[in-house]
Structure 1
Amino acid sequence: MAKVGRPASPGSVAGAARRTTRRTTRRVWRRTTHYVSVLPHGCGPVTLYGVAVWNCGGVYYQHQGTRYVVVVAD
């Protein structure tokens, strides 16, 4: 039996929506003040948390204008 505010099962639509919202609101990209004009060798494009970034050995860059800024996931 479902209680108010709780899904009937872990796979219910209401529960999935709450879990998705909870997960996505905690992960925010924060731009740093470190810019580069050329990415290091071996970088690859990835999409994390809905944002297109470049992964360069664990350091993430986001394209901004004519440069790339280092971003950190909080």
Structure 2
Amino acid sequence: MSDEPLNNWRSRRLYACRAADEMERIINALGLEDGSELPPDGGLPTVSENHRNELRNLTALWLRMVLAANDGHVSPSKLQRW
């Protein structure tokens, strides 16, 4: 990715929202394995729903901070967690 798409606030907002969506997908998939790979030595850690919620809270906090610094517009409806 070149830096050019990040030269304006709309593009930065789009990339930040996409990154947060990807993080949410990753968080939701933690602990779910399809068996196509051997686990690492020592096995995989267990992930509780509380752990997932904390990670989602961190993602929402990160996105709020980025959007506030980027253009000052933060939607309280989607980004309200805890």
TM-score (norm 1): 0.30
Select the structure that is richer in strand.
Answer: 1
Greater fraction helix: 2
Larger Rg: 1
